[in-house]
Amino acid sequence: MLKKNMTGLVAFATVAKAGTFTKAAAQLGVSQSALSHTVKDLEERLGVKVLARTTRQVAPTPEGQRLLDRIGPMLEEIEHELWSMVDTQSNPTGDFRITAADHSAESLLWPKLRPMLKQYPNIRVEIHTDYQLIDIVKSQFDAGVRLGEQVSEGMIAVKIGPDFSMRAVASPAYLSRKGCPETPQELTRHDCINLRFPTHGGLYAWEFEKDGREIKVKVSGQLTFNSINPIIQAAIDGHGIGYVPEDTVTKAIANGELVSILEEWSPPFPGYYLYYPHRRLSSPAFSILVNALSIE
């Protein structure tokens, strides 16, 4: 049973992860038609459909998803063990998917990965940017990057960036027109630029702290974005107050486009961590990736 189905299981898992037969065929180095026949043969032997096909993409059926949840980690373990047997010193190889918010991807991941990728051309990395706190195992990511307080339990966490502060900022024109808030509570009377998280569709409640006192403020205004850069530009254009990581507005503050406010309410906090399941360390290439990102 296993000997007949092993090729089909690998084909099925690759297609399910890639989302299309075209991408999966390219990854496996076979033709699309051959790959489709392999999966069909598996379905015929099992007597159940494991993939739902449309004109644009494929996705696991409920039965297929249950199968993928069971065999996916096992196939990855086998692949990682095979990697460990090759000459990892001269030719480390691996494909890795990382989920991260845009700020950490732009400020940490890419600057650190760029020299590593040049040194190790057979290591390939896909960076998926969003703010969702997803289950990286279920969503088939190799690792995630989040603030330390957001890392799931049971994961290995490696610090990859320094502590940093958030900053409330506004243009000089806006502050001249609306006045400058002296406390976080006064923000409720101002035009603020919101950040919406994809998870549950919630708006980010601005977090402040002073002398051990923590305050969360739900702000409102004309504009809401789901990423940081548009918030910064809207603040520069005078549409209201934004609340963003300090390093993203250092230049705009220095050249006078923005003014930092409520600084005494924004102390530094632990920065970003790379987190991943324990089994990932069985891949030598992944260890190289972790070492490239780590600051410890």
Q: Is residue 66 part of a domain?
A: yes
pLDDT, tens only, 171-187: 999 999 999 999 999 99
Same domain, yes or no: 277 and 153:
yes
Question: Which is higher by pLDDT, 170 or 227?
Answer: 170
Give the pLDDT band (50/70/90) at residue 151: low
Of 54, 83, 112, which one is at a domain's C-terminal end?
83
Residue 234: pLDDT over 70:
yes
Q: Which residues contact 76 (CB under 8 A, 6 or more apart)?
A: 279
Cα separations in angstroms, 207 against 149, 182, 202, 222, 267: 14, 15, 15, 20, 10
Residue 261 · residue 241 · CB < 8 Å: yes
pLDDT of the residue at 53:
84
The number of distinct structural domains making up the chain is: 3
pLDDT at 83 > cutoff 60: yes
Asked if residue 89 is part of any domain, the answer here is no
Last residue of a domain, one of 60, 83, 106: 83
Spatial separation of the C-alpha atoms in residues 32 and 21, rounded to whole Å: 6
Residues 42 and 173 in one domain: no
Asked whether residue 254 is assigned to any structural domain, the reply reads yes
- Residue 154 shares a structural domain with residue 171: no
Do 276 and 232 fall within a single domain? Answer: no
Backbone dihedral angles phi then psi of residue 290, each to the nearest 5 degrees? -60, -45
From CA 185, how far away is CA 206, in angstroms rounded? 11
Query: CB under 8 Å to 221, separation ≥6 — which residues?
Result: 190, 191, 192, 193, 194, 239, 240, 241
Q: Can you tell me the mean pLDDT for 56-63?
A: 86
Residue ranges making up the domain that contains 103: 94-163+271-293
pLDDT band per the 50, 70, 90 thresholds, residue 4: low
In a domain, 135, yes or no: yes
| C-alpha to C-alpha distance for 193 and 230, rounded to whole angstroms | 10
Answer whether residue 85 shows pLDDT above 90: no
The pTM of the full predicted model, rounded to 2 decimals, is 0.64
**Dihedral of CA 160/162/167/169: which sign?**
negative
Pinpoint the alpha helices (H) of the chain: 2-18, 21-28, 32-46, 62-83, 102-104, 110-119, 172-178, 228-236, 250-254, 284-293
Higher pLDDT, 7 or 177: 177
Phi (first) and psi of residue 221, to 5 degrees: 175, -175
Model pLDDT, residue 202 = 78
pLDDT for residue 285: 86
Tens of pLDDT, residue by residue over 274-285, are: 988 876 556 788
How far is the first Cα of the chain from the last one, in angstroms, to the nearest whole number? 47
Task: Pick the range with the lowest mean pLDDT from 39-48, 94-103, 200-209.
Answer: 200-209
* CATH code, domain with 185: 3.40.190.290
Question: 61, 83, 105: which is the final residue of a domain?
Answer: 83
Other residues' Cβ atoms within 10 Å of the Cβ of residue 209: 15
pLDDT of residue 90: 61
One domain for residues 174 and 230: yes
**Phi, then psi, of 94 in degrees rounded to 5:** 175, 150
What is the structure's pLDDT at 110?
A: 93
Q: For residue 47, tell me if it sits in a domain.
A: yes
The answer as to whether 128 is a domain residue is yes
Question: Do 69 and 104 fall into the same domain?
Answer: no
Nearest Cα neighbor of 75 from 2, 141, 10 is 10
Residue range 118-122: average pLDDT?
Answer: 90
